[in-house]
Chains A and B, each alone.
Chain A
Amino acid sequence: MKTYNNKAWWLVLPVFALVAFSAIIPMMTVVNYSIQDIFDPNTRYFVGTEWYREILADPRLLDSLLRQFVYSLCVLVIEVPLGIIVALSMPRRGLGVPVSLILLSLPLLVPWNVVGTIWQIIGREDIGLYGWILNSIGLDYNYASNPRDAWATVLIMDVWHWTSLVALLCYSGLRSIPDVYYQAARIDRASHWAVFRFIQLPKLKNVLLIAVMLRFMDSFMIYTEPFVLTGGGPGTATTFLSQTLTQMALGQFDLGRAAAFSLIYFLIILLVTWVFYTAMTHNDDKG
């Protein structure tokens, strides 16, 4: 049991100060912008919730919000099961273990714009392997002009980039299962499915929650990779929330709307993550 001691605050103070500087001050600036109309530093009007009402009625935001949810959902539906399968296929001992671990981690270490560049190259029909193969077997594949192809490429790119994270999380979860469990299952002549369903899956519950939470958060903020790959196009087919926001804030310098947008965006992530977090700590408390 932890002891109650308020002096522990002294240990937390540096973190608090640092994060306050780099989070609270900027966040207050955003709040400030979202409720004012600013022409120049000296001319500003208080406009209340006007920006919020405007932004919530903006079809551009609603479009990219819907697109974002579909995208994050696709990411989770593909990456979580695939990650579990890969984790279950990891070698158990020997040289294969560190080799697979390092190779699996490779995509995670590629700078995000390089991820975009890699897929931009490999998907091209003239100089890229995949684009060339797809076109030479007769598929008319072009991620730059066909929205469906662009979507597929952005999704496969994300699967390539992040499934390893899910796999490594699950692998570490699987490793914590004592051998006795498997022995007992063998004595009971349990099927592979039964072993997975009643031994491995329950043990994976916690890491899977972390995985789903991290993947949801990060896919919901995705910016760099699709930006490099497709630039959000063709049209607005792969323009996700972060890009819409960046266009608004830096491209059009539309501060009020961008700020209101930011806060709504943040709140959505916060809400969803809070649900996962509560589920996770709830499990922690139980055991």
Chain B
Amino acid sequence: MRVRKSLVMLVYLLFVLVPIYWLVNMSFKSNREILGGLTLWPTTPTLDNYRVIFTEPTWYTSYLNSLSYVSMNMVISLMVALPAAYAFSRYRFLGDKHMFFWLLTNRMAPPAVFLLPFFQLYSAVGLFDTPIAVALAHCLFNVPLAVWILEGFMSSVPKEIDETAYIDGYTFPKFFVRIFLPMIRPGIGVTAFFCFMFSWVELLLARTLTSVDAKPIVSQMTRTVSASGIDWGVLAAAGVVALLPGIAVIYFVRNHVAKGFALGRV
């Protein structure tokens, strides 16, 4: 039984890792080697593809653009979701259940539905082609998710803690920042991870709301087709570079991620 389990796990991990290995493998090859035939590892490893990404301004600025709207989105989502999640986890109020479901419906809305209205809305308020526009647009699906996860984590903190703190003379803001937030730190970490993840990987809205100045890495990558065909090596290297922030983030939340995936509800 033991052996069979490990075998299943190994096979699955292999299935997960082979395509990623292939990407890494290609990123160290020159285009001539890639198109020259199938090799399981780079025969003449080269860093040229990475050099292109880190020296050409269109590449590294698009990388920075992505990082900037993703971090803005993380901050905005957490700032608005924290108090709301507290309200949902501690109080009943007029229309609370409807409000909660309505928030969730925004997570369900296909971004394709919102493309055109978003384009017009952000053009009208003069935010088109800025990172903040993308950050706000991504709030559409990240804020409901953040509220949902945080509400789960907050509900597992006993209510007696709030009451004791109020008796001890804490005001709400002081209690919230000094006592409550440190208690749900793992939840905040996981929420930040999810916001990061869904904002980092999204292409459709990010591409529609930007053109030149705020172009994200994901849409820069769709433009590697030149006169000589697709530049596979650079594309692969860009893919690898785009993977790195995610790995860094997941390393920090690795111990809480399983709980977070269940949206704090286990």
Residues of A that sit less than 8 Å from B by CB: 2-9, 11-12, 14-16, 18-19, 21-23, 25-27, 29-30, 85-86, 88-91, 98, 100-114, 117-119, 121-122, 126-129, 132, 160, 164-165, 168-169, 171-173, 175-176, 192, 206-207, 210, 217, 220-221, 223-224, 228, 241-243, 245-246, 249-250, 255, 258, 262-263, 265-266, 269-270, 273-274, 277
Say yes or no: B15 contacts A255, CB within 8 Å: no
Chain B residues in 8 Å Cβ range of A241 = 110, 112
Does any Cβ of A come within 8 Å of B1's Cβ? Answer: yes
Known contacts A109-B200, A114-B242, A171-B258; decide if A14 and B113 are in contact (CB<8 Å).
no
Say yes or no: B117 contacts A27, CB within 8 Å: yes
Say yes or no: A18 contacts B114, CB within 8 Å: no
Scan residues 1-55 of chain B and give those whose CB is less than 8 A from a CB of chain A: 1, 5-6, 8-9, 12-13, 15-20, 22-23, 26, 34-35, 37-38, 40
B102-131 near A? 1/0 per residue, CB < 8 Å: 011111111111111110110000000000
Q: Which residue of A lies closest to B83 (CB)?
A: A11
Does any Cβ of A come within 8 Å of B192's Cβ? Answer: no
Q: In the assembly, what is the distance between CA of A242 and CA of B12, in Å? A: 30
User: 13 A–B contact pairs at CB < 8 A?
Assistant: A15-B84, A16-B99, A18-B76, A101-B254, A106-B243, A127-B34, A206-B265, A206-B266, A220-B110, A241-B110, A265-B112, A266-B113, A273-B105
Q: Which residue of A lies closest to B216 (CB)?
A: A111
Scan residues 119-161 of chain B and give those whose CB is less than 8 A from a CB of chain A: 120-121, 136-137, 139-140, 143-144, 147
Chain B residues in 8 Å Cβ range of A129 = 18, 22, 38, 40
Q: In the assembly, what is the distance between CA of A67 and CA of B218, in Å? A: 27
- Interface size for B (C-beta < 8 A) is 95
Does any Cβ of A come within 8 Å of B86's Cβ? Answer: yes
Known contacts A15-B80, A106-B16, A270-B105; decide if A90 and B9 are in contact (CB<8 Å).
yes
Q: In the assembly, what is the distance between CA of A23 and CA of B113, in Å? A: 11
Chain B residues in 8 Å Cβ range of A26 = 114, 117-118, 121
Known contacts A168-B257, A210-B263, A258-B116; decide if A29 and B121 are in contact (CB<8 Å).
yes
Known contacts A101-B257, A129-B18, A224-B203; decide if A14 and B84 are in contact (CB<8 Å).
yes
Q: In the assembly, what is the distance between CA of A100 and CA of B105, in Å? A: 33
Chain A residues in 8 Å Cβ range of B239 = 110-111, 114, 117-118
Q: In the assembly, what is the distance between CA of A42 and CA of B211, in Å? A: 28
Q: In the assembly, what is the distance between CA of A242 and CA of B40, in Å? A: 36
Taking the nearest CB of chain A, how far is it from the CB of B40, in angstroms? Answer: 8
Q: In the assembly, what is the distance between CA of A255 and CA of B96, in Å? A: 35
Chain A residues in 8 Å Cβ range of B140 = 19, 22-23
Taking the nearest CB of chain B, how far is it from the CB of A233, in angstroms? Answer: 17
Taking the nearest CB of chain A, how far is it from the CB of B251, in angstroms? Answer: 7
Say yes or no: B247 contacts A132, CB within 8 Å: no
Say yes or no: B147 contacts A160, CB within 8 Å: no
Scan residues 230-262 of chain B and give those whose CB is less than 8 A from a CB of chain A: 232, 235-236, 239, 242-243, 246-247, 249-251, 254-255, 257-259, 261-262
Does any Cβ of A come within 8 Å of B164's Cβ? Answer: no
Taking the nearest CB of chain A, how far is it from the CB of B89, in angstroms? Answer: 8
Nearest 3 pairs between A and B by C-beta?
A109-B246, A26-B117, A8-B91
Known contacts A121-B236, A171-B258; decide if A2 and B84 are in contact (CB<8 Å).
no
From B13, B202, B232, B262, give the contact of A173 (CB < 8 A): B262
Say yes or no: B20 contacts A118, CB within 8 Å: yes
Taking the nearest CB of chain B, how far is it from the CB of A111, in angstroms? Answer: 5
Q: In the assembly, what is the distance between CA of A258 and CA of B119, in Å? A: 15
Say yes or no: A86 contacts B257, CB within 8 Å: no
Q: Which residue of A lies closest to B36 (CB)?
A: A127
Q: Which residue of B lies closest to A224 (CB)?
A: B203
Say yes or no: A128 contacts B22, CB within 8 Å: yes
Chain A residues in 8 Å Cβ range of B76 = 18
Q: Which residue of A lies closest to B244 (CB)?
A: A109
Does any Cβ of A come within 8 Å of B69's Cβ? Answer: no
Say yes or no: B6 contacts A250, CB within 8 Å: no
Does any Cβ of A come within 8 Å of B87's Cβ? Answer: yes
Instruction: With a 10 A CB-CB cut-off, give which of B35, B110, B217, B257 has the most chain A CB atoms.
Output: B110
Say yes or no: B18 contacts A117, CB within 8 Å: no
Scan residues 74-93 of chain B and give those whose CB is less than 8 A from a CB of chain A: 76, 79-81, 83-84, 86-88, 90-93
Q: Which residue of A lies closest to B107 (CB)?
A: A217
Say yes or no: B93 contacts A5, CB within 8 Å: yes
